[in-house]
Amino acid sequence: MAASSVFRTGLFNHKVAIVTGGGTGIGKAITAELLQLGCKVVISSRKVERLEAAAEELRANIPAPSPASVRSLVSAVLEQHGRIDFLVNNGGGQFSSPVAAMSAKGWKAVIDTNLTGTFHCCKEVYMAWMKDHGGAIVNIVADMWKGFPGMA
């Protein structure tokens, strides 16, 4: 996180972004970059402790975690910042399991997190702001070039 940006300081002043999965890994790095460029960033995660640790480390004015609902998250961001310029869908999850051992409940959990959650975030941000004002949505997926051995 100590690297400096190749982009000019203030490039995203007065812009607002939501970064799902913003408490760790790629999402946290994206959050740090956006903050360095002057963007106001709201991060979300399934675990409050990740958000709290990331907020403390980033030393930025990141709001307290929003309610679990995507609609509540988007409404809270619009209420606090008045706009959403970027949505970075980075939140996701997977667990190692050969398909023969995976339960329907496990499959549903992965699909709900990785696909359905992304869909809801895209749709809600689009309908609430980007449809009329524009913006950019980035959906991140890890495919490890040719898939993950042991993961359905």
- Considering its fold, how many domains does the chain have in total? 1
Classify residue 149: in a domain, yes or no: no
At residue 21, φ and ψ (nearest 5 deg) are 65, 30
- CA 106/CA 88 separation, integer angstroms: 25
Report pLDDT digits (tens) over 62-75.
333 353 568 888 99
Question: Mean pLDDT across the chain, nearest whole number?
Answer: 82
For the chain, how many helices (H) and strands (E)? 6, 4
Report the pLDDT averaged over residues 55-83: 72
Is residue 148, in this structure, part of any structural domain at all? Answer: no
148: enclosing H helix or E strand: none
**Residue 8 is assigned to a structural domain of this protein:** no
Whether residue 135 contacts residue 125, with contact meaning beta carbons closer than 8 Å, is answered with yes
Contact 54, 104 (CB under 8 A): no
144 in a structural domain: no
- What are 41-51's pLDDT values in tens digits? 998 888 888 88
What range does the domain containing 73 cover?
A: 16-139
Asked whether residue 128 is domain-assigned, the answer is yes
CATH assignment at residue 98:
3.40.50.720
